Amino acid sequence: MTQFHQLSVHELVQGLKNQSFSSTELTEHFINRIDSLDRQINSFITKDFENALAQAKLADKQRADGDNRPLLGVPMAHKDNLCTKGVLTTAGSKMLYNFVSPYDATVVQNIANSGFVSLGKLNMDEFAMGSDNESSHFGAVHNPWDLGRVPGGSSGGSAAAVAAGFVPVATGSDTGGSIRQPASFCGVTGIKPTYGRVSRYGMIAYASSLDQAGTFGKSALDCAYLLDPMSGYDNKDATSINRPSEDYVADILATATDSKPLAGKKIGVAKAYFGAGLDSEVEKSIRTALAKYEELGAKIVEVDITDPAITLATYYLLAPAEASSNLSRYDGVRFGYRCENPKDLHDLYTRSRSEGFGAEVQRRIIMGTYALSAGYFDAYYTKAQKVRRLIVEDFKKAFEKCDIIASPTAPTVAYKLGESLDPASIYLGDVYTIGVNLAGLPALSHPVGQANGLPVGLQLIGKHWAESELLKTAHIYQANTKFHQASSPLAQTDAP
Ligand code: GLN
């Protein structure tokens, strides 16, 4: 018998509407799974079940009283860097181990207003810095496909929770790949929208010129269901762009998926994305997916993009620089962790920060502060900003020749927990995703098969504001293939 966690959001919406089941039943099903199975993967930092059940009951009552919001009563969960009023918000850090936000992020508010029921807060790399979720103060997350492997990061808890059948959809954030790469490692779909599409108000900052919230789901359509209420202008975020809102779900549902549905579309492929470092099994899945796209009518054209090695260096200069500035607010006085018995104010700052931040965060603060220091600012920070401009220009040129650029999402499949390579090798794993953030472009990752039994994701990069096109394209692929339906062993495990 099909269980609730095997249904798509689309099916959940229909079922709730037809009263085939209630939000309370749905919410209880997911809570039961999380309660009995999450100890295997550690995807939740905070389980907010009492609230969730109260919300679900309210949703059922509202629906019975004629409230026809389609998403009313559908369960979801948030990455733990989105502020939730009255609920612990830690950003995966000891620094915020006791921080209860006094307000909701705009995204959280918008999602709640659409009727979704939040089950709690999901594990992540500390302050979203990382690619494997091993830097969380609350412990690593295990990949539902193979408990000995990482789920990717930094939104590892979000990707793993969806892949484990703990929530139908989840929010994430993506500064350099943190939605797309864990989506790839966990065999789910994830989208990072255009910079400015989704409000950053109440999302704990890592690198503000790159950070953008997005969604995870089992399919492009499921991602769209959560992205719709999240998107839109917010006057509380100065970088939010005021554009007419879009309806991604309606766009997808109006898309024809058969008989060469992608005829006329040009998909750009860059040699630079297939260079040394790309696992040969991953490459095979990617090439097969590109062939499928051709079969669906798309034309593959060759494009040039900036040398990924240059993009990587630029990102790992700018992101830590912005982080060092953003994280200066954690001083042991205003938020969260404070050291014991400080001798004086200086000791309070120093020890609170050395004890409150983990090793990777400290490394980034040191790198970033160095790049911003008076003597090196021009040589590093200013130079990197200039290179960033060139990266943007290169993407623009590439998009003169195509509608979408396709690439592997990550050079490898999920690696083993604890294998943690040295930081520089981990940074190398971000090579295909970070250019997108530097240019502010939208991109998604969707599953296209497996390499050695582990999921592989294909990245689709769009022009600015092309979320709808990306989601529709991935939907067409998903309507004609079954890769996104492959579920992890944990998702196939029943709660006792
Ligand atoms: N892995 C990248 C980093 O550590 C990206 C992280 C992210 O997108 N939040 O910076």
Per-residue pLDDT 10s for the chain (496 aa) are 679 999 999 999 999 999 999 999 999 999 999 999 999 999 999 999 999 999 999 999 999 999 999 999 999 999 999 999 999 999 999 999 999 999 999 999 999 999 999 999 999 999 999 999 999 999 999 999 999 999 999 999 999 999 999 999 999 999 999 999 999 999 999 999 999 999 999 999 999 999 999 999 999 999 999 999 999 999 999 999 999 889 999 999 999 999 899 999 999 999 999 988 999 999 999 999 999 999 999 999 999 999 999 999 999 999 999 999 999 999 999 888 999 999 999 999 999 999 999 999 999 999 999 999 999 999 999 999 999 999 999 999 999 999 999 999 999 999 999 986 688 889 999 999 999 999 999 999 999 999 999 999 999 999 999 999 999 999 999 999 999 999 999 999 998 8
Measured from CB, residues less than 6 Å from any atom of ligand 1 are: 128-131, 154, 174-178, 206, 319, 430
Query: What is the torsional sign of CA 50, 54, 59, 61?
Result: positive
Active site residue 79: yes
Can you name the residues that pair with 84 across neighbouring β-strands? Answer: 87
Closest by CA to 74, choosing from 112, 36, 47, 105, is: 112
Q: Facing residues of 266 across strands?
A: 299
> Domain spanning 7-235+243-495 has what CATH number?
3.90.1300.10
| 3-state secondary structure string across 243-288 | CCCCCHHHHHHCCCCCCCCCCCCEEEEEHHHHCCCCCHHHHHHHHH
Counting ligand 1 atoms within 8 A of each CB, the residue from 80, 81, 123, 129 with the most, and so the one to mutate, is 129
Cα(391)–Cα(314) distance, rounded to whole angstroms? 9
Number of the ligand 1 atom closest to the C-alpha atom of 315: 10
Catalytic residue (one of 79, 218, 463, 472): 79
10 Å Cβ neighbour count for 373? 12
Radius of gyration of the chain (CA): 21
3-state secondary structure of 312: helix
Q: Is 22 among the catalytic positions?
A: no
Of 135, 178, 407, 445, the active-site residue reads 178
Residue of 78, 89, 137 lying closest to 335 (CA atoms): 89
Q: Look up the pTM and report it.
A: 0.98
Domain boundaries, the chain: 7-235+243-495
Tokens of 383: 């130079």
The answer for residues whose C-beta is within 8 angstroms of residue 388's C-beta and 6 or more apart is 314, 318, 438
